[in-house]
Amino acid sequence: MTEHFTDGNPIMATKISPLPAKALQTEARFIETEPYYEAAGNEIALFEAAYASQLPVLLKGPTGCGKTRFIEHMAWRLKRPLITVSCHDDLTAADLVGRYLITGNETVWVDGPLAHAVRSGAICYLDEVVEARRDTTVVIHPLADDRRMLPMEKHGELLQAPPEFLLAMSYNPGYQSVLKELKHSTRQRFVAIEFQYPASALEEKIIRTETGADSATAAALVRLAQMTRNLKGSGLDEGASTRLLVHAAKLIARGITPAAACHGAIAEALSDDPEMLQAIDEFASSVF
């Protein structure tokens, strides 16, 4: 059977263009085995205290520094299902809340991921929230303050979030343009946790644990990362993240030479500029 969606009142299925059914599928994940996460500071205690106080949480920090891994770890720790929504510039309030689904002659309401998370007392993680359309803040605001309510206008329902529900979102203050900054009325509803690249010893440990790399390889990769991080703002928009170091170490573990691994996993991921690529290759040969 073909399924069609509409935002408003149900209309004949033949008159509306089908949206992908996946857009509304909400995947609540119970994480059963502990996701490996190295804490850099008091972020675990802070998150637990925010959760116990029913306060929403904002994870700030550059790409690849452990935000997603952290939320997975916390969902496991708090034994709550996790629903992640990757926000994009077409994401509307209806995508989060839900909409009517028309199948044949029948019209059924289908919860979006946010409504599903509220009903099931899950952790809802809105990844890269500034990318979402402005109207999403209309539904987030009453949920993120002490009302903890999700208005579902089209369905004529007002959901009250149970104490187990938590709203979390991520935000990368670095790249977003002025237009895409989080509004104060949004950000001032959240307890913010700042993420940075881990300190050297911790980052080396993460690389070793994630990839089985030896100490010398992990240390060299961290030195290389620091060189690229120093170029932030003078040729590079971002330095190499922990994620990129993990990628390079994985390639090295499979027998790729360090030079080729760093070129493919780090240099090319950071820049397209031939001079910058050469500079990063030279950094790599200086540390290996």
The span from the CA of 279 to the CA of 240, in Å, is 13
Size of the site for Mg ion (CB under 5 A): 1
Of 206, 240, 270, 287, which lies in the binding site for ligand ATP, with binding defined by CB under 6 A? 206
The total number of residues written for the chain in this structure: 288
Nearest-approach distance from CB 209 to Mg ion, in angstroms? 19
What number of CA atoms fall less than 13 Å from residue 232's CA on the CB side?
A: 11
- Counts of helices then strands in the chain (DSSP H, E): 12, 10
Parallel, antiparallel, or unpaired for β 106-111 and 123-127?
Answer: unpaired
Residue 171 CA from chain centroid, whole number: 8
Q: Do 119 and 159 form a contact (C-beta atoms < 8 A)?
A: yes
Of 12-20, 33-41, 252-260, 262-270: span binding ligand ATP (CB under 6 A):
33-41
The span from the CA of 127 to the CA of 86, in Å, is 5
Q: Do 57 and 50 form a contact (C-beta atoms < 8 A)?
A: yes
Q: What part of residues 164-203 is at the interface with ligand ATP (CB under 6 A)? A: 172, 198
Of 48-56, 65-73, 248-256, 266-274: span binding Mg ion (CB under 5 A):
65-73
| 47 in contact with ligand ATP (CB under 6 A) | no
Q: What part of residues 229-288 is at the interface with ligand ATP (CB under 6 A)? A: 242-243, 246
| 65 in contact with ligand ATP (CB under 6 A) | yes
Q: Which does 205 bind (CB under 5 to 8 A by kind): Mg ion, ligand ATP, none?
A: none
**DSSP-based three-state secondary structure for 89:** coil
Nearest-approach distance from CB 241 to ligand ATP, in angstroms? 7
What number of CA atoms fall less than 13 Å from residue 31's CA on the CB side?
A: 21
Of 3, 10, 31, 38, which lies in the binding site for ligand ATP, with binding defined by CB under 6 A? 38
Q: Which is nearer to Mg ion, 126 or 287 (CB)?
A: 126
Nearest-approach distance from CB 194 to ligand ATP, in angstroms? 12
| 68 in contact with Mg ion (CB under 5 A) | yes
Q: Do 108 and 101 form a contact (C-beta atoms < 8 A)?
A: yes
For the chain, helix, strand, coil in percent to 5 are 45, 20, 35
The span from the CA of 247 to the CA of 93, in Å, is 35
The identity of residue 167, as a single letter, is L
Of 64-72, 101-109, 215-223, 256-264: span binding ligand ATP (CB under 6 A):
64-72
Nearest-approach distance from CB 167 to ligand ATP, in angstroms? 17
Q: Which is nearer to Mg ion, 186 or 242 (CB)?
A: 242
- Token pair 């002490």 is found at 146
Nearest residue relative to ligand ATP (C-beta): 66
Of 67-75, 89-97, 113-121, 254-262: span binding Mg ion (CB under 5 A):
67-75
Nearest-approach distance from CB 246 to ligand ATP, in angstroms? 4
The span from the CA of 89 to the CA of 214, in Å, is 42
Q: Footprint of ligand ATP on this chain (CB under 6 A)? A: 36-38, 61, 63-69, 172, 198, 206, 210, 242-243, 246
Applying CB under 5 A, which residues contact Mg ion? 68
